[in-house]
Amino acid sequence: MHVKLSPARIWAANAITAILDHGHSMDDFLAGSNGFTAMSQRDRALARAIAGTVLRRLGQVDIILALYLAKPLPPKTGLMRAILRCATAEILFLRSPAFAIVSEAVSMAASKGKTRAFRHLANAVLRKVAAEGPERLKEIPATVNIPDWLCQSWQEAYGEAAIEEAAKVLIEDQPTDLTVFRELADWTEKLSGTPIGEQSLRISPSDRQAGDITKWTGFEGGAWQVQDVAAALPALILKPRAEEYIIDLCAAPGGKTAQLAASGARVTAVERSQSRLTRLDQNMKRLGLNVQSVCADALQWKPETLADAVLVDAPCTATGIFRRHPDVLALKTPEQVNDMAERQFSILKAAASMLRPGGRLIYCVCSAQVEEGEEIARRALEELPLGPLAIETGPLSYVETFIKENYLRIPPGAWDDKGGLDAFYIAAFTRQ
Ligand SMILES: C[S@@+](CC[C@H](N)C(=O)[O-])C[C@H]1O[C@@H](n2cnc3c(N)ncnc32)[C@H](O)[C@@H]1O
């Protein structure tokens, strides 16, 4: 029987192979694949749902598959592993008719040289998954979707409950968070959202308009930008003032730069990657904000005058953004945490040298690893000319529980009853 292959399923299998077998990030795969934009809106939604479900449910998917694969697949089998993972995720979690998924997966395997030899195996395994998988799944907790090394490190840092909460937010449909630059009340009504603090608007998956976010009302006119509630906090904690000179180090794509510039401060955005800086410039143009952007390495660049404030959003392993970017769970390693910590401390040291005495410095990372957050801040207080700066909790009452004097730590799994929050570490200092 001839089965027509859906472009969404082919795309998903390719994305999962690129990410899980070849170590590419989802963003890089998307940037290099014209196939995604060429698909219809419906196919794009299905492709995202399948690939996203494999990444969010990888532990459960692989345990179920292992039950029915007599021995592990050999290494060089092209898309075969991804075809099995995608079909299993779809059968177990997306409630599509199982017979159609199985026959399409078998046809996909039959259509390529490297996978053809496995088509009968795919048929046998996926039929078992369809028949027995939903029942067997009940014995497999969602915590297996978080890799062991992260479970161990998060358990040590935040306790057992954080793992359960992280596992819960990982498999949920995520809300869309916007940072609104003016008339928050108006946009709350227009976009059916819930305002959070002074600038954020959370739109739940059920209230969200369908389709491309760049087509939503207010995007073109620059009324708002997409930004997780947690990612908006560093600039709010810095409390930018009109006319002061602020350096945003490691700035692209400019989410925090925009918040700083919208306050009327004179902002210099420093970013090492030219392509990312171009995106920052485009974003500032859309938002109607005036920023001086500089393509430079934060470790080499020196400002002409010392700044009133510096914001350092350091490069990091990004393990804290696992709920919006679940590929980080598979891609990051403990070795990368240690490499990052060295770079982060060097960048923070350079940042301190750009600041006038009495100036404010905010250091932040979207990592849930204490080596990249708490440890860096502790070292900074010991080794750099920086003192702690108390964070004012008044306007930040919605995250008050995460604030301790001069730092704010959002653990993985935070707000598990309210749609989740990216894990972040933010520390405030003053230059001595
Ligand atoms: C976490 S992202 C910044 C996100 C940004 N602050 C925002 O809110 O949209 C870190 C950025 O630092 C840049 N970067 C990494 N090392 C750098 C360095 N040594 N100097 C300048 N930029 C650097 C990366 O290219 C990346 O764009």
Q: Confirm or reject: Cβ of 342 under 6 Å from ligand 1.
A: no
Residue 231 CA: nearest ligand 1 atom is: 8
295 shares its domain with 416? yes
Q: Confirm or reject: Cβ of 256 under 6 Å from ligand 1.
A: yes
**What residues contact residue 315 under an 8 Å CB cut-off, 6+ apart?**
250, 340, 343, 344, 347
Tell how far CA 126 is from the center of its chain.
31
How sure is the predictor about 313, in pLDDT bands with cuts at 50, 70 and 90? Answer: very high
188 shares its domain with 288? no
- By CB atoms closer than 10 A (0-12, 13-18, 19+), residue 401 is exposed
255 shares its domain with 344? yes
Mode of pairing for the β-strands spanning 200-203 and 194-196 = antiparallel
Q: Confirm or reject: Cβ of 46 under 6 Å from ligand 1.
A: no
Q: Comparing C-alpha atoms, which of 429, 208, 391, 103 is closest to residue 399? A: 391
Q: Confirm or reject: Cβ of 26 under 6 Å from ligand 1.
A: no
Q: Confirm or reject: Cβ of 142 under 6 Å from ligand 1.
A: no
Phi, psi at 294, each rounded to 5°:
-130, 130
300 shares its domain with 261? yes
- 226 pLDDT exceeds 70? yes
Q: Confirm or reject: Cβ of 390 under 6 Å from ligand 1.
A: no
Q: Which domain holds residue 109?
A: 7-140
Distances (CA, A) of 114 to 76, 105, 268, 296, 349: 8, 14, 52, 45, 51
Phi, psi at 265, each rounded to 5°:
-70, 155
Mode of pairing for the β-strands spanning 266-271 and 224-226 = unpaired
In a domain, 145, yes or no: no
Residue with CA nearest ligand 1 atom 10: 315
Q: Please state which of the ranges 34-48, 218-232, 268-282, 285-299 shows the lowest mean pLDDT.
A: 34-48
Residue with CA nearest ligand 1 atom 6: 251
Q: CB atoms < 10 A from the CB of 266, how many?
A: 18
273 shares its domain with 209? no
- Ligand 1 centroid from CA 50, angstroms: 30
d(CA 411, CA 421): 9
**What residues contact residue 76 under an 8 Å CB cut-off, 6+ apart?**
114
325 shares its domain with 194? no
Residue with CA nearest ligand 1 atom 12: 250
82 shares its domain with 32? yes
What is the reported pLDDT for 96?
84
Tell me if 222 sits within 8 A of 288, measured CB to CB: yes
The count of domains in the chain is 3
Of the three residues 140, 164, 192, the one that is the final residue of a domain is 140
What is the reported pLDDT for 341?
97
In a domain, 102, yes or no: yes
> Which helix H or strand E contains 9, and what residues bound it?
helix 7-16
Query: Mutate which of 28, 248, 272, 302 to test ligand 1's pocket (most atoms within 8 Å of Cβ)?
Result: 272
For the chain, the average pLDDT equals 96
d(CA 293, CA 405): 32
**What residues contact residue 4 under an 8 Å CB cut-off, 6+ apart?**
none
256 shares its domain with 119? no
Compute the Cα dihedral for 63, 68, 70, 75 and give only its sign. negative
- By CB atoms closer than 10 A (0-12, 13-18, 19+), residue 274 is exposed
Residue 280 CA: nearest ligand 1 atom is: 9
Residue 256 CA: nearest ligand 1 atom is: 8
- 83 pLDDT exceeds 90? yes
207 shares its domain with 325? no
Of the three residues 84, 112, 140, the one that is the final residue of a domain is 140
In a domain, 38, yes or no: yes
pTM attached to this predicted model: 0.96
In a domain, 164, yes or no: no
In tens, the pLDDT along 13-23 reads 999 999 999 99
Residue with CA nearest ligand 1 atom 11: 250
DSSP 3-state of 353: coil
d(CA 73, CA 55): 19
In a domain, 147, yes or no: no
**What residues contact residue 378 under an 8 Å CB cut-off, 6+ apart?**
none
Residue 365 CA: nearest ligand 1 atom is: 1
In tens, the pLDDT along 176-224 reads 999 999 999 999 999 999 999 999 999 999 888 877 899 999 999 999 9
Q: Confirm or reject: Cβ of 351 under 6 Å from ligand 1.
A: no
User: Residue 315: which CATH number?
Assistant: 3.40.50.150
User: Residue 79: which CATH number?
Assistant: 1.10.940.10
Phi, psi at 69, each rounded to 5°:
-90, 120
In a domain, 65, yes or no: yes
367 shares its domain with 248? yes
In a domain, 221, yes or no: yes
What is the reported pLDDT for 129?
98
60 shares its domain with 204? no
Q: Please state which of the ranges 24-28, 166-170, 203-207, 422-426 shows the lowest mean pLDDT.
A: 203-207
- Ligand 1 centroid from CA 111, angstroms: 42
130 shares its domain with 185? no
In a domain, 154, yes or no: no
- 4 pLDDT exceeds 80? yes
Give the CA angle between residues 373, 379, 384 to the nearest 5°.
120
Q: Confirm or reject: Cβ of 276 under 6 Å from ligand 1.
A: yes
Query: Mutate which of 226, 236, 250 to test ligand 1's pocket (most atoms within 8 Å of Cβ)?
Result: 250
- By CB atoms closer than 10 A (0-12, 13-18, 19+), residue 29 is buried
Q: Confirm or reject: Cβ of 372 under 6 Å from ligand 1.
A: no
